[in-house]
Each structure stands twice: as C-alpha cells, then as structure tokens.
Amino acid sequence: MTVLVTGGAGYIGSHMVWALLDAGEEVVVVDRLSTGFEWAVAPEARLIRADIADTETVADIIRSHGVQAIIHFAGSISVPESMVDPLGYYQNNTANSLALIQTAVATGVKKFVFSSTAAVYGSPEGDQPVAETTPTVPQSPYGASKLMTETMLADAAAAHDFRYAALRYFNVSGADPLGRTGQSTRGAANLIKVATEAAMGKRDGIEIFGADYPTRDGTCVRDFIHVTDLVAAHLDALSYLKVGGASLIANCGYGRGYTVREVLDSVRRISGRDFDIRLGGRREGDIVTSVADSTRARTVLDWQPRHDDIDEIVGSALAWEESLARRNRI
C-alpha cells in the first residue's frame, strides 16, 4: 500500500514515516516545511513540498503515486497560540483539512487516519480517565478546530465510500528509540521538550503556568504518551481500516497522569542536571486534568503500548536533545 503522510517532516509525522517504512509500506510525504525539516524525513520516503490546501497538486500526487490511504498530521498544535490567532487555526486545521478530505473523496482514497486531540473534551467535570463518550466541549480554538474536522470526516463517511479513524492524542512526548527522529521544532512549547532543552542549557529555565490547581501538587495533570506508541496506534488504525473496519474515534493515552512538577522531577533525575523553574500564572485555555481511557484503542484496534513509563519517555527525549546538539542542528 502507498500511504500519503501529511506533515511528515514534523515531529509525529516523521516518526510515522519511519514506522510505515519499517512495516513495508510505500510512503509519500506532503509537507510545506513551515515547521518541519527535510532532513527529518526518512530517505526512503518521497518528500514533496506542497500545501494540503492546494487540491490540484495533492490530487496529482495521489494519482501519480497510487495513494490508497492518507494519514493526516499537518496542522497547528498550540493551545495558547490558538487563543491569540483563532482564525489562523481555523484556516490551517479546519479549512485546509476540508480541502484534503475533498481531494481524498474526489480521487477515490477510501482510508483516512486523522491526528486529533484530547483538547476536544475541554476540561471534563466528570470522572477521569476520559472516554470517547465524554461530551466534547473544547476550551480553545485549537480543540474546536480539530473537532470540526472530526465532524467533517463523519459527514463525508456517511455520504461517500470513505472510512476514517480519528485518534485523539493526549500528551505526546519522547523520541524514536533508535535515534532516527524526534521533536525538533524550534520554540516548541510542550512540557517535556521545554524541560529537556532547559536541562541541556538550551533555555534559561522553564515556567510553570499555574501552581494553584486542585491537583495533588497544584500543577496540571497530563497523560503523557510515548510518540512510538502513538504511531503504533496509527499503524493499528490503518490495518483496521484495511480489513474493512468501520469509521471510529479512539483515545490514545496510558490511563494515568503525571503533574507538571512530577515531570520536571523526572527530567532532573534522568538528566542529572538542575535548571531554573519559575512559577507563573495560569494560561487561558489550559485544562486542569486530562487522562485517557484508551479501552477502545486497546480492544478494537488491538493497540498494545510498549513504552508506558515516564522515565523512558524523558530519557528518549533527552537522548534526542543530545543528538541535536551533536549535529549542531538546533
């Protein structure tokens, strides 16, 4: 099967490309390289610099390469940034995804795996972990933009010969255990990336945004998932669609959370380095606690995580930071 990976030069997308190649698939990457890196794409994959909103170009790519499935990562991912630039997020995440879905339907691509987010749930008031049946009440344009894309996928599947899997990520971190790729985006804001950069001396420290939440140590709680386990879930979703599985939405997480302080303690312990930690105020749009109920992924997709350990996640992220430093890339 030839698989088109959008955003395949980015963090999760580059891991996905390697995983697909490891599984024996042919891979074509479409990425405009606004935040990704050409060098992050596995050399065996075909990289085409293009925008997914360019429907004519994407249609030509699909036809010329015989693409049979799309895994869609291209998009913007920062909750705080989306609060400042909501229209940019609706353009990049929703409108551009609409163009891609239209192109998939028009060219006969019947299998589509979508990179969604737990931000669609907002800050649930009920029990944790969060199941797919939890009401979707996004608190940020980022979450809303992803939920709109899920709605478009559902409607497209109802009207056309087209099936999809939307995977709702919780907090993706870590790097490829073989050291082939990792989180390389300049100025990335996810916690473990920032903390490992601080440990490496690439930043002057890290700020905790809010230490007065109703949690065990006052900081937000997140379900951190190793990027390798996450891309494995995408492979499982693709296999599920290949054999005729119905469209579905599934959470991807481990079912337990760590506070911001606990993660920072892990980074200090694993790195053996201290770094400055500053206390700041709460950020608009931040969710207090977000932990996944991933029963559906484990049962329907037969997803079996293998890297469910915060120290392993942190250790792989640190190894990647050291690799970047050696290469003088970032």
For the annotated catalytic residues, the residue numbers are 142
* DSSP designation for 130: B
Residues 79, 283: Cα–Cα separation, whole Å: 9
Give me the helix-helix angle, 310-327 and 260-271, nearest 10°. Answer: 60
Cβ-proximal residues to 243 (8 Å cutoff; 6+ apart), any chain: none
Residues 223, 232: Cα–Cα separation, whole Å: 17
Residue 276 DSSP SS3: coil
Residue 232 DSSP SS3: helix
CA dist list (Å): 312 to 142, 176, 269: 28, 11, 12
Q: Which helix (H) or strand (E) holds 222?
A: strand 221-222
Residues 5, 73: Cα–Cα separation, whole Å: 7
CA dist list (Å): 275 to 110, 123, 170, 201, 271: 49, 30, 26, 8, 10
| Cα 321 to chain centroid, rounded | 19
A 10 A CB-CB count for 127 gives: 10
CA dist list (Å): 152 to 144, 148, 169, 327: 12, 6, 19, 42
- Closest among 256, 317, 253 to 11, alpha carbons compared: 317
